Structures are given as structure tokens and as C-alpha cells.
Structure 1
Amino acid sequence: MGPSRDNVTHFEDSPQGGEESGVLRVRVEETVFTVDRAVLGQNCEYFRALFRSGMRDSRQNEFHIQGGLKARGFLMAMAVSRGEHPAIQDPDEIVEAAECAAFLQVDVLVQHLIEIIDTDNCILLYHTAAVYGLWKLFHSAAVFICDAYPDLQDAVEALPVEMIRHVESLSPASFVALGTHSPSMKMLQDSYRTVFYLDEKPGAWKYLTDLPIDASTSMAGVAVVDNRLYIVGGVRGVSKETVDCSFCYDTETNTWSEFHGPQQSRYNFTLVGHNGHLYTIGGEYDKRIMSSVEVCDISTRAWTFCKHAPRSVAAAASAVARRRIFVCFWKPPDTTDIYEYTPVKDEWTLTTTMIKPQSYGHCMVAHGDNLYVMRNGPCDDFLRCLMDCYNTTTGQWTAMPGHYVNSRGALFTAMVRGDSAFTVNRNLTLEYHICSDQWKPRRQMTGFPKSGSLWTCLLRLPKSRDTRQDNDAEETDANGEIVEDIVEAEHPP
């Protein structure tokens, strides 16, 4: 939908006009913003429609946006459009940002609001998204609330009944684990080639699916994109012969499909799933560590090369925080460099460096603005697992108290869901509550039933077949009737 002339007051003609060049003065309330026309045209559907309309309004160099839009909301929209990551914490700021995103149709601002969802603001964002009809934000907030439901039950009760029912109709993300296996012969199918999920009510691991016969999880890449599990590459046998194909598990159909692997054969690499793409970073081939990077668009399953990593790296830890990709590059024995890879710019940037004895990391996970790096302990206690926290907003490192180890194993893998972190070994599955200064043990459940190294991830599994039909019918109306009820309550005729 294009801009309404009732909400825009135009001033003098712009000598340049057009969408691609020049600046525009935009007045919101009593504040005048000087904005690059190209930035507006690229990120704001409201102005893009105006610039392409050919009307006299499209040639103005100053506009007055009326209709109750707040200057602070427009300021946040422009900051996000320039690639910034502004902190939006005050409830009024959240509402004003959502209002601006809806009024001016600023998709990057909607995406930024999705990125900042946490337990403190998810209820407000869920309700606000319903009021302004921001469907992506509405769904993302509902999913977050579903995942963190035990921590949010009291707050959820204040929502309209329809919105509560919508959250309860969703499936929370399940903790999934699989062992390390090489491809097997059809006549000698490995009975242990099984993917399990954690059934949290009894606290036990249950069967999900079997790995394809030709799939390898030995030195492979494992990641999740759009709720599908991807296994890329790997090796077979002691000679480390590379497996040059990839596999995808679809949770909805409970089926596997096969597609080509990266153009460069590799193993022991880092696989990151992000925004509809898979990224293979570094790895080894023919006993040589590489720095090459490839990306796969999962819609076409085609691989292309990206800019090389800053240096050669194998088995690097990675995490996605606020939809930003971070990768650890180790310099044994005591230096950890964390780089950010920005796909839209195809660019690597050094984010921070940590120098600590025995800094080699087991894994890295993200929670909100924080990156948590789990690393090995001193030489005389190598299995002791220490943790350091890096805040991507403040740029500060914090050593977490405790050493996150129990009498039967260390924290070598973790997955974050809501304010919880799940970790598992053969003896125990532990859930931690992530607090500002430490991880506090919350629950202890059964360990993983198989031995060896593990891959873990989160997958949103369908509800049982006997309830899915009713839930699907309710989901069909969720973004219509539910939101209409909220809009009518907030803005009665």
C-alpha cells in the first residue's frame, strides 16, 4: 500500500528527485530528520511506493509525516536502516518502534524487533504486534513465549484468551541429539544411527528418526535452518575419505532428502544456519586446514563461494546472537579471537580478543546480547569447564563464577532456548537457568543413551497426529481472528 496524501505534507520541489540520490528532510512531530533517499527507498515500503509513483509528491525534498507517528519511532527506524543495532528497552520505545514499522512498512525494523525478543519484552511485543498487524513479529513472539512458557505463565495470564490459546497451540523447540557415525552398508545398518529428542515431562530421550545410510556425522557439519536439520559433508573410514553430499531432515514430513555438498570437499568445518542459508567455514581437506567459505541457499540448494575467513581454521565454535554470526578463531595456547561475519556485506570483522591460559573453547552459545564461551581448564584439570561471557553491546568480558562440571562429565555442548541452556553427556542431561551473572542448575534428567561425541540442536517437532488437525485449523485463523479481536479491543469502532 502506498503513502496516503492525507498524512504527508509536501514542501518545495527537489531539484534532483528520484529514489537513488540526494537527501530528504522528513518532519515527524517537531523534529526534522535529514535522511538519504536511497536508504529510505531501500528499507521503507512507504517511501519506496512514493518515489516510484511519479506523482508530484515524489519530487519533494521535505515531507511532514502526520497521523500520530512518534519521532522516536522514526529515529529507531532510520538507525536500523543504516545497519545499526539500537537497544530498545523502554516499553514506550517498543510500542513506538512497532507503530513506525507498521505505519511506514519498515521490514528491517520488524526484523530488529524480532531479534530483541526476550523474557522481559516478549509479552509486550506479542500484544503490540497484534495491535499493529505485524504478522512476523506476532508469530516470533508467540513462539518465544511457547518456548519459555514455564517462566512466563503468570505474565501470560494477562493476555486475551485467544492469544493464550494460540501460544498453547504451538510446539516448543525440542532438544535433539545424535551421535557420531560414518556411512554404513545397507546390509549392515548400524542400529545406533538414531536421532533422539528429549521428552521433557519424563526427562527421557526418545526416538525421532534414523540417519540415512549414506550420511556421515563424523567430522561433518550439523545445523538447523527453518526448522529443518541439515547434515553436510563428513568423512568415512580411517583414511578420512570425504562425503561430498548433504542431507536434510524435514520435521513436518518426517523424511530425509539428499543434495550436493559444497564445491570444495571438506571436513571438520563449521556449519552455520542463518536466514535461509547454510555457511561452511574453513575445515580440512587432504590434511590441510583451509580458510575458504561457501554459502548454500536452501531454496535452491546451490553452493557459492564467499569471502575467505581471516585465517585458516578447523572445527571453530560459532553462535548466532541477535541474528549476527560470530565465529571463534583460536591461537593456542591462550588467545581467542571472535570475528563477526556479515552476509549482506560478505565481510569479516574482528569483534574481540580474549587472552586467558588454556583458552581453547569447547563451544560457544548466544543468549540475547551475550556470547558464552565454554573453554577447557588448567593443564592439571583439563576436563574442568570454565565459562566467559562477552556482551556484544557493551564490548565487555566477564568471567562466570563456577566451573560447570559435575562428577561424571563436563559441559562440552549446549543449546539455548528462552532463558534455559540444555547440556548433555552419557550420564546426565542438565538444564540451566541463564541469569545475569551465572548459570543456575534447574533440572537434572536422563543422560544420552549412546556413547561417543554428540551433535545437538533444537527442532520444533509437530504435535501428535491425533491433535494436529484441530491445531492446524486454529493456526489458520491465528493471524486473522485473534489479531482482529485484539485490534477491536484496542480501537473500538
Structure 2
Amino acid sequence: MDTVKVRVGDSVFETNKSVLLRECEYFRALYRSGMVECHQEEIHVRNLKAQGFVIMLAVGRGERPILNGEEILEAIECAAFFQSEPLARHLQDLLNSDNCLLMYQASATYGLLGLHEKSAQFIRNMYRDLQEDLKKLPQELIEHVESLDPSAFVAVGSHSTCTVDELPLAATRTVCYLDEDDEEWKVLTALPMEASTSLAGLTVLDNQLYVVGGVHGVDKRPVDASFCYEVVTNTWSLLPGPRQPRYNFTLIGLEDCLYAIGGESGRTTMSSVEIYNVPTKKWSFAASLPRPVAGVACTKAMSRVFVCLWKPMETNEIYEYIPKQDAWVLVSTLLKHQSYGHCMVAHRDNLYVIRNGPQDDFLRCLIDCYNITTGQWTSMPGHYGNSKGALFTAVVTGDSVFTLNRTMTLEYTIAGNMWKPRKEMKGFPRNGSVWTFLLRIPKERKEGIAS
């Protein structure tokens, strides 16, 4: 029997048994047990509200509903009761500054550990904005947040590989982090000699930094070696490189996988995409992009990967990679004359496309916002200063956007339909392109670095 009736509170739901087995450990355990409930026409679930079950079924159908406070509480209770990992992951995707305290306390109450830790880390990263409201929570919850390491803004310049003889001259081959208290850039680690960040792919996944590919010298010989940096132990490990040697590609990490998107090989622009499975340490080819592209603008929002492709002279297209279909699907199109999306970042369910200004003016960027829930575009008013490519280094944490160049680190606050300058700090004194990202650096490491 494929159809199952489930009574939750006063409501009866008729759904597919396979959906319940896929979504919930509760039902998998129930049917494995052979208990009498398995053979009844109707399974009765007591002491649970129907709204949470409705939300769980919607997520099971592939929907991504945005939830208000009451719905979040019922969804957390439902996810904990039914041990529904997909619903728990969706709740993690919904974390924001408006609901993180609610999610943190409720997930502690119902024992939803993954959401509890994600909420705590989110609050820690926004501690200065949330500390007054955090004081209203129980003391043990406050202490847990304060025990965590906040994410730090990290940068590394563009460097080719290095020989032993060149090492004394390579003092700038370092990964640095911004100490916001001292407003100083401090060295976190040195790059391995064999590592190149010149036209390489860099990304952070599960608080580990990955450096993939890149080039040697001016003739752009591809680097085969790839590296992973473990911030807690301050160690680098060697990884296999992509099957197709590539440079000037985009690397992004999501759910145990690294995506190497497009790029160049032998001065030929490619559309191919490869995925590195971190647990198995193997690369495999995925569906290619609709057309060849190098250095493509890419971001992830709500556990989804998006790229911004350009068709001359005015078409910017947003594509999403759908893992279950192994396909790139066109999401939306933005028509702006001679304007190219150079960088894309995400905040909540919004994608921000940062593009050059009028007449290829790269010093005055324009920003357009696409909401992946409503499918609506909005143009942010005014121009944004982009001296020396600062906006192309944008990184989002909490409700803040960090950008930098050689002269200044500028933090914006995302407020409504604006990015409002919030704080200026010291710039990153490196020539050439700069890579930026976030890493949680243990307090002990920072104290060791400072000494």
C-alpha cells in the first residue's frame, strides 16, 4: 500500500509512504519494527500540531517555504519528533538575524542538535548586534554562544608557486586574517611552496580552506596540485587536482562537495564542471554550463548553487545547479545594457549581482538584487564605490558585507534595499588580485599567533 493516512491533532493527511520513509527516521523505524500501527489504515500521532507536519510535507515535495515565528516553532517540534533531517536542514537555511535567537532556544528545548549549533554559531558571528537580546536567554545558552569562535575575515593575495631559493623573497605568500579589535591584519599561515593562488580556485567548506589548481608563471602552465588547510591544527594536506587541468575557474563548496566551474585550459575557455567529493577524495564530471565561461560570478544561497552568465551585450542570466537532476536550470534573466555581473553574493534568500557601472565604469558599480523565493528583481539605488576592485571581494557574514582593497577594509550593513557603510578598517597591502573568505580561528591559535 503506497498511500498512508496520518492523523496529526485534528487533521488527517493522505500522503505517500515512500515520502514518509525518505523524510523521517521516525517512520523508517516504525515500519522496520513491524508494530501494529504499520498495518492500520490510519497512523495517529498525538501531542503534535498539524502545521509542522504540513511544512514537513511541503519540504518533502521540494518546496522551500519561508516561515514566520510560530511556524518555525512548530517546524522545529515536528523535525525533532519525526527526526526529519530534510526539514532540519531547511530550518538551517532559514537562519537570519530576525529568527536566530528563537531557533537557538527552541532547538535546545526540542533537542534538534544540528540547528542548535548552527544557530549558536550564527549568533556568535553577529554577537555585537545581538548581545543585548542574547541576555534574555538562559545563562547556559549565553555561555555556549560565548564559548564559540567567531568567523574572521580572511584574505590572501595572488601568488604563483615558489622554489626553496625564492622562499626568502616570498614573505607575502601568507594567508592573513583581520583582527577587528586591533584593526590589524595578522598572519594566519604561509602557503605551501607548491601552491598557487594565481588564477586558482579558492573556497572554504566546513571551516577548511581549499586551494585548487592555478598557474605557474606568465605562460600560465596549470598547477596540478591542490591543497586543504586545516585551521585548527595549522596544517596543509595535498589533494588530487581536477581531471581536466584548469585555471581562472570558480570554486565553491556545498555539502561535502567542491564545484570547479568553467575556467580555461590551454587558453581555451571551457564550460565543463567537475565535483570533488571530500569524503571519497574523488573528482567526477557534472553537467556542463550552457556556454564556456571563465571566472564566473557564483554564490550559494539556502544550500543552492547559483552562477551569473553573460550574453553580449546586455543579458545576465542566473542559473542554478540541481544536483538530483545533474542539470543547470535557468532561473531568471537581467537585461542591462553592456553590463556584466562580475561578482555575486547572497544574503538570506537574496542574490546580489554586482556589475560594472555605465560605459564600463568599474569604479562605480551598480547592484541588482534577485529574490529566489519571490522571483523578483530590484535595483539598489545609487552607485557603489569600487576603488581597485573592492566590491569584487565582497563576503557576507550575518547582516554585514566585508570588502577590501590595498587602502581600506569597508564593512557595509545590509539594511532594506541598501548597503550602508558601517565601519572602515585597515586595507590589505598586497598587489594584484585578492581572495577573501571567512574562517573560524580558535582562540588558542590567535593567542599563539599574537605571541
- Calculate the TM-score normalised by the size of structure 2: 0.96
Letter in 2 for 1:139: E
Equivalent residue for 2:57, pick from 49, 67, 78: 78
The Cα shift of 1:305 comes to 1.3
Equivalent residue for 1:186, pick from 140, 164, 175: 164
* Distance change >3 Å, CA 310–CA 437, structure 1 → 2: same
- Deviations for 1:216-258, whole angstroms, at most 9, x for unmatched residues? 1111100011100000011112221111121000001001111
- Deviations for 1:438-471, whole angstroms, at most 9, x for unmatched residues? 0000000001021211000000001126989xxx
Relative to structure 2, which stretch is displaced further, 121-130 or 44-53?
A: 44-53
Equivalent residue for 1:119, pick from 82, 97, 113: 97
SS in 1 for 2:57: helix
Q: What is the RMSD computed on CA atoms of the aligned residues? A: 1.5
| Alignment partner of 1:326 is 2:300 | no
SS in 2 for 1:352: strand
Letter in 2 for 1:394: T
* Distance change >3 Å, CA 277–CA 323, structure 1 → 2: same
Relative to structure 2, which stretch is displaced further, 266-275 or 120-129?
A: 266-275
Counterparts of 1:32 and 1:313, CA distance in 2 = 51
Letter in 2 for 1:69: L
**Size of the alignment, in residue pairs?**
446
| Alignment partner of 1:161 is 2:139 | yes
SS in 1 for 2:238: strand
Fraction of identical pairs, as percent: 56
Larger Rg: 1
1:287-298 equivalences in 2 (<5 Å): 287-298=267-278
| Alignment partner of 1:379 is 2:359 | yes
Counterparts of 1:389 and 1:140, CA distance in 2 = 26
The Cα shift of 1:360 comes to 1.0
Give the conservation status (yes or no) of the 8 Å contact 2:338–2:360: no
The Cα shift of 1:373 comes to 0.8
SS in 2 for 1:75: helix
Equivalent residue for 2:429, pick from 437, 449, 453: 449
1:225-374 equivalences in 2 (<5 Å): 225-374=205-354
Find the counterpart in structure 1 of residue 197 from structure 2. 217
- Deviations for 1:103-132, whole angstroms, at most 9, x for unmatched residues? 111111111111101010000000000100
1:393-408 equivalences in 2 (<5 Å): 393-405=373-385
The Cα shift of 1:290 comes to 1.4
SS in 2 for 1:384: strand
Counterparts of 1:409 and 1:259, CA distance in 2 = 31
Find the counterpart in structure 2 of residue 390 from structure 1. 370
| Alignment partner of 1:411 is 2:382 | no
The Cα shift of 1:406 comes to 6.3
Letter in 1 for 2:119: A
Give the conservation status (yes or no) of the 8 Å contact 1:203–1:446: yes
- Deviations for 1:465-490, whole angstroms, at most 9, x for unmatched residues? 6989xxxxxxxxxxxxxxxxxxxxxx
Give the conservation status (yes or no) of the 8 Å contact 1:383–1:410: no
Give the conservation status (yes or no) of the 8 Å contact 2:339–2:360: no
Equivalent residue for 2:441, pick from 461, 472, 480: 461
The Cα shift of 1:358 comes to 3.0
| Alignment partner of 1:207 is 2:187 | yes
Letter in 2 for 1:333: M
Give the conservation status (yes or no) of the 8 Å contact 1:172–1:460: yes
Find the counterpart in structure 2 of residue 486 from structure 1. none
Letter in 2 for 1:379: Q
SS in 2 for 1:263: coil
Could you tell me which runs of 5 or more consecutive residues in structure 1 were left unpaired when the two chains were aligned: 1-15, 17-21, 469-493
Equivalent residue for 1:131, pick from 92, 109, 122: 109
* Distance change >3 Å, CA 142–CA 404, structure 1 → 2: same
- Deviations for 1:283-330, whole angstroms, at most 9, x for unmatched residues? 111122211111111122211111222222211111111111111111
Counterparts of 2:391 and 2:294, CA distance in 1 = 21
* Distance change >3 Å, CA 133–CA 203, structure 1 → 2: same
Give the conservation status (yes or no) of the 8 Å contact 2:362–2:386: no
| Alignment partner of 1:102 is 2:90 | no
Counterparts of 1:106 and 1:382, CA distance in 2 = 47
Letter in 2 for 1:188: E
Letter in 2 for 1:447: G
Give the conservation status (yes or no) of the 8 Å contact 2:247–2:265: yes
* Distance change >3 Å, CA 208–CA 467, structure 1 → 2: closer
Counterparts of 2:328 and 2:353, CA distance in 1 = 20
Letter in 1 for 2:126: A
Find the counterpart in structure 1 of residue 37 from structure 2. 57
SS in 1 for 2:33: coil
Give the conservation status (yes or no) of the 8 Å contact 1:404–1:410: no
Counterparts of 1:217 and 1:421, CA distance in 2 = 23
SS in 2 for 1:126: helix
Find the counterpart in structure 2 of residue 424 from structure 1. 404
